[in-house]
Structure 1
Amino acid sequence: MADTLTPGVRRGYALGSVATGTFGTVPGLLLLPYLTDSLGIAAVVAGVIVFVPKAWDVVLNPIAGRISDRSPAPGGRRRPFLLKGGLALAVCFALLFAGPTGPPALAAAWVVVWFLACATAYAFFQVPYVAMPAEMTLDYAERTRLMTWRVAVLALAILLSGATAPAVVDAFGDEQTPAGYRVMGAYVALILVVGVVGAWRGTRDAPEHRVETAGGTLRDQLRLVSASRDFRVLLLTFVLQAMGVGAMLAGVAYVADDLLDSAAASTILFAAFVGPALLVTPLWERHAARRGKRSGYLIASTFLVVGALLLLVARAELTAVVYVAAAIVGIGYAGAQVFPMAMLPDVAAEDALTSGENRIGVFTGVWTAGETLGLAIGPGLFALVLAIGGYVSSTDGSAEQPDSALTAIALGFSVVPAVLIAASMLFLRRYALDADLTTHP
């Protein structure tokens, strides 16, 4: 049975990407340099700090999915979690950058505690949010249209938060001044509130196709979810790509400061990255309608690899080339969000239809856990590359970096993501559900 959502519901659902895009971008962009260049924490330790709280979501997200699967709320199985989890996330994010500046051990402990709190709150927002499309519509093409709206808003959120958060830091100090980070934390918290409340209100009239909640323990449901071959290959693809994107996000501030020698470069990089994404997202939707989602995902991934490899030349004298490469990455990134976000509900809904039981929350819990883990490992890998290159941490960002550290920044920003994304394509080629759904809508 096919069903079409109203434009208002599509737009309302898409507003949730203001929150997911902002929280997925700003910590990856600013947390590592905040730790190394403002708090004076060594790169390896900073990498662990960024990684550990997000790794917690690997355990928590499937649990959050299972809890939302079993929710009896009359206003919608998932919607109440959007408001509660999202508002808690905003509060915790503001506190994340509001801690002490020393000694380093105390400052590091503060960041770990509040980043862990952010990860916990985000799990109870993100997992129900990602689960909703599989229950909002049963139509294969409608899910792609819904994700097109979501990715368009996601791109705007990335541009807004990624370009303005560093600017707020600089306006109230600079990238080595804690006061600037504290104001930025409050500013980003307000953006999160807008996305959270918008999604909660905007989906109040969304349909909900419920099936019987699956019985058995969480372990039983995880075992059944992992038995889905299409889900496994799609998840591995997305996690590897999240690792690559996470490494690139972590490297933006370092590339701007140490390779391009421009405080404005991080904002321009984001504009070059997101601008094309806004333009090509509708084109990716058309490709999905004509040739399927897997085909589009493979092509988008190829754009990501090519653009990432071109970023290896990041130097002040080749700034224009760097911005072109960022635009190529942006074209690929738009498709690499539209297609998997539309393919995940296909897999989860297909399982619900064939089994007659609702495991959608468990599917999305495992998915978002994998995404979060990938986005945590990526900055950790970048930090490891920095450490191997001999990057010198400081409390004011004035340390002179050796040539080996500059090379490490370039490699971590380009080659590492390119290799991860290229490897992901080997798994993506094994995805088979797309052809079945296109033939039998």
Structure 2
Amino acid sequence: MKLSVKEKLGYSLGDTASHFVWDLVGFWLLIFYTDIYGLTPYLAGVIMFVGSIWDAVMDPIVGVISDRTNTRWGKFRPYLLFGAVPYAILAVLAFTTPDFTMSGKFAYAMITCLLLRTAYAFVNLPYSSLSAVMTDDSNERASLNTYRFISAYIGQFIVTGAALYLVSFFGALGQQGDSVNQAQGYQITVMLFGVLSVIFFLITFFTTKERVPEPKKQDNNVLTDFKYLFMNKAWIVLTIVGIVSFIMFAMQNAAIAYYFKYYIADAENVQLFNIVGTVALIVALPASKPLAKRFGNKKVYIMSSVLSGIFFALIYVAGDNLWLVYTFNVLAKMAYAPAVPLLWTMLADVADYGEWKFNRRTTGLCFSASVLAQKLGWAIGAAAASWILGVTHFVANADVQSDSAMLGIRLLVSVIPGVLYASCALVMIFYGLDAQTMEEMKQELADRRVETEND
């Protein structure tokens, strides 16, 4: 099933919408909690960790519900229509700073964080699952996900490049002299990105179509869904890769602001660093589809993990030499860029594999459980970053940090994420869906659907 450029672009804007809000959470919520709202690193880490437990409950529920949703708009598209506005509102509340006691602040931050995670699940999980039912062609899925992640990183580019400037601009409104109310700045900035997210999700809803049906005789037994999901070895491999890689992403994203503020002693430089890294990703992403067609999804992912892991680790060797820091980061981002859309392409293929092997299609559960693993990895990584800061005796807003705190910050953006991401290559060795299997699977599923339609 070939997709038009219009539909690919429309679909891709949904991930721009997700990044407009979720990148604010990933890059700045931790430092917002500690440096703006006044929570201790330990309490902030607890919130991140509890959020992962909450996701463990909510994400599979969303997957099961979406698999059983049947409307005139399809299974997954309705969630974009009805979930976008609550998602934006809760994002604003998460970056709001009511004047409570420390325990009150902790409770407020915990509640708003959990509600935001819930809203994100009800929008982003169906959005991710949508790519698997728009087409059954693996190459088209690779192309679709390339469009998706180019738009996603453009969203990240905008957020990481403009957010702190917008915080300063909006934070200065109504203030005297050169003073800046950062809490106000964050809140208005999130409002702006929240509105844009709603608009983009609606564009995705109106420009996409669901085409791949589930088997007509499939029952609604939830336990059976989970039974066959955990019998799907390819899904297990991708889930482990998702956990490990997102621990890496979260650690580095959470620590990078600390790295530039305290080690490089130039907090504003993080903006340019993030911009350059995102540009490197966008430039290298189009290589994903041709590399996959030439070498296969599995081989490309393995080489990407190894090379990017090495380059990330070399950031530690660069010390405070900004030219080398930027160079190694650009090389790392370009090395792992082709693997980004391939992970989601392979997840769609894994959903097909479940239908082919067990005659049971659970697209929503397959994606939601994998995204749960990724979010669990993200939460573990963010919490671990916070706890490592605590263990190494980091002191928020101190003019001088201890040597142990500096070491912890440096490791969090270089060696630790480098080793973690390179280890994904070892896991991917066990991924069994090669090109020959995929072609056989595609043809048999097409024949089954024709037979079902003729019955």
Q: Give the TM-score normalised by structure 1.
A: 0.93
For residues 437 and 175 of structure 1, the distance between their equivalents in structure 2, rounded to whole angstroms, comes to 59
After TM superposition, the structure 1 = structure 2 runs for residues 279-358 of structure 1, keeping only pairs within 5 Å, are 279-313=283-317, 315-316=319-320, 318-358=321-361
Alignment of 1:139-154 (within 5 A): 139-154=137-152
Q: 1:436 to 1:21 in 2, by over 3 A?
A: farther
* Preserved contact between residue 272 and residue 327 of structure 1 (Cα < 8 Å): yes
Residue 413 (structure 2) aligns with? 413
The number of residues matched between the two structures is: 434
- Judge conservation of contact 2:62–2:125 (CA < 8 Å) in 1: yes
CA distance in 2, matches of 1:100, 1:172: 18
Measured in 2, the distance between the counterparts of 1:159 and 1:147 equals 18
Matched residue, 2:449: none
| 1:191 lines up with 2:196 in the alignment | yes
With 101-110 and 205-214 compared, the bigger mean Cα shift is at 205-214
Correspondent of 1:87 among 85, 88, 107: 85
Give the match's secondary structure for 2:339: helix
Go from structure 1 to structure 2 and tell me whether the alpha carbon gap of 1:282 and 1:42 turns closer, same or farther (over 3 Å shift).
Answer: same
Partner of residue 187, structure 2 = 182
The letter of the residue matching 2:426 is L
**Residues 28 and 307 of structure 1: is their aligned pair in 2 closer, same or farther, counting only changes over 3 Å?**
same
Which residue identity lines up with residue 14 of structure 2 in the other structure?
Answer: G
| 2:126 is equivalent to residue 122 of structure 1 | no
C-alpha displacement of 1:424: 2.0
SS of residue paired to 1:209: coil
**In the aligned structure 2, how far is the partner of 1:96 from the partner of 1:135?**
33
Matches within 5 A, 1:182-261: 182-203=187-208, 205-212=209-216, 214-261=218-265
Q: State the Cα distance separating 1:165 from its structure 2 match.
A: 1.7
1:100 aligns with 2:102: no
Q: What's the TM-score once normalised by structure 2's chain length?
A: 0.90
Distance 1:213 1:158 in 2: 42
Structure 2 CA distance for aligned equivalents of residues 166 and 275 of structure 1: 18
Q: Distance in 2 between matches of 1:19 and 1:352?
A: 30
CA change 1:243–1:24 in 2 (3 A) is farther
* Counterpart contact for 1:94–1:188, Cα < 8 Å: no
**Paired AA for residue 335 in structure 2:** G
Whole-angstrom CA distance in 1 between matches of 2:234 and 2:359: 18
Q: 1:329, CA displacement in angstroms? A: 2.4
| Rounded Cα–Cα distance in structure 2 between residues aligned with 1:223 and 1:199 | 32
Taking a change above 3 Å as real, the CA distance of residues 95 and 161 of structure 1, as seen in their structure-2 partners, is: same
- Gap change, CA 1:61 and 1:138, over 3 Å in 2: same
Aligned counterparts of 1:211 and 1:104: Cα–Cα separation in 2: 53
| Structure 1 residue 67, shift from structure 2 partner | 0.7
Post-superposition Cα deviations, 1:8-58, rounded to whole Å, max 9, x if no partner, equal 111111111112323442211101111111222221221111232243112
Which of residues 248, 263, 269 is equivalent to 2:267? 263
One-letter amino acid of the counterpart of residue 308, structure 1? F
For 1:143-185, what per-residue CA distance to the aligned partner results, in whole angstroms no more than 9, with x for missing partners?
Answer: 1111111111111111111222222223334998322221222
Match of 2:379 in 1: 376
Instruction: For 1:98, give the aligned amino acid.
Output: T
**Preserved contact between residue 64 and residue 123 of structure 1 (Cα < 8 Å):** yes
Q: Which stretch shifts more, 340-349 or 124-133?
A: 124-133
Deviation at 1:398, TM superposition (A): 4.5
- 2:313–2:416 Cα contact (<8 Å) kept: no
Cα distance in 2 between the residues matched to 1:32 and 1:314: 26
1:367 corresponds to which of 365, 370, 375: 370
What is the rounded CA distance, in whole Å, between the counterparts of 1:388 and 1:180 in structure 2?
31
Report the residue type matching 2:385 in the other structure: F
**Please, which runs of 5 or more residues in structure 2 have no aligned partner?**
172-178, 443-455
Q: Which AA in structure 1 matches 2:303?
A: I
Q: How does 1:267-278 map to 2 (within 5 A)?
A: 267-278=271-282
SS in 1 for 2:251: helix
How many Å separate the matches in 1 of 2:59 and 2:50?
15
1:270–1:281 Cα change, 3 Å? same
Q: Distance in 1 between matches of 2:100 and 2:264?
A: 30
Instruction: Please give the root-mean-square deviation of Cα atoms over the aligned residues, in Å.
Output: 2.0
Structure 1 spans left out of the alignment, 5+ residues: none
Return 167-176 or 381-390, whichever deviates more.
167-176
Radius of gyration: which is bigger?
Answer: 2
Quote how far apart the aligned CAs of 1:320 are: 1.1
Which amino acid in structure 2 is aligned with residue 236 of structure 1?
I
Question: What is the letter of the counterpart of residue 316 of structure 2?
Answer: L
Distance 1:101 1:187, change over 3 A: farther
Cα distance between partner residues in 2 of 1:175 and 1:29: 20
Partner of 1:76: helix, strand, or coil? Answer: coil
